[in-house]
Amino acid sequence: MVAEGSKAADFLLEGSDGKKHKLAEFRGRYLVLYFYPKDDTPGCTKEACSFNENIKKIKDLGAEIVGVSKDDLKSHEKFRSKYGLEFLLLSDPESKAIKEYGAFGDRGIFGKGTLRKTFVIDKEGKIAKIFEKVNPSEHSDEIIEFLESKK
């Protein structure tokens, strides 16, 4: 079960930079690991652009932003390029990490799929905060507020 204070689940996923990434490489800084349903859809675009607009502030607070969806690398690259996204997107086509983090479930009229959920993982690899109800337009402000509270 994924809960605040528990050890974050490891993953090995391909990134939009063409490399495979695992949780351990983010040790020593906060990781804002956010799960989202689909590249280039209205809510997901708002959320990604909001993170992108605040990327300097988030990095200055000692955190890295990483997005995860089922989309393939080609889709991720198109999405990053179209909106000038400056952070890593990971591809989880089999939803392994998505399910392990509890970010898979009933999406109402959209059926079962990836839920919009964010996990802030601390410098030691533990889950510091889980954001279950995410407003795509304001979410980066919530993350900044949380990270500032940890200073």
List the chain domain ranges. 28-149
State both tokens at 26. 């983010």
Residue 49 known to be catalytic: no
Location of structure tokens 């690398």? 73
Q: What is the pLDDT of residues 46-77, one digit of tens each?
A: 999 999 999 999 999 999 999 999 999 999 99
Which of 9, 31, 44, 88 is flagged as catalytic? Answer: 44
Report CA 16 to chain centroid distance, whole Å.
Answer: 13
Cβ count within 10 A of residue 129: 19
Candidates 4.10.220.20, 3.40.30.10, 3.40.50.2300, 3.40.50.150; correct CATH number of 28-149?
A: 3.40.30.10
DSSP string across 53-104: HTHHHHHHTTEEEEEEES--HHHHHHHHHHHT--SEEEE-TT-HHHHHTT-E
Contact 30, 119 (CB under 8 A): no
- pLDDT, tens digit (0-9, with 9 covering 90-100), for 20-55: 999 999 999 999 999 999 999 999 999 999 999 999
96-111 pLDDT tens trace: 999 999 999 887 777 7
The answer to whether 129 touches 4, Cβ cutoff 8 Å, is yes
What confidence score (pLDDT) does residue 50 get? 96
How far is it, in rounded angstroms, from Cα 39 to Cα 67? Answer: 10
Q: Cα dihedral sign for 105, 13, 141, 144?
A: positive
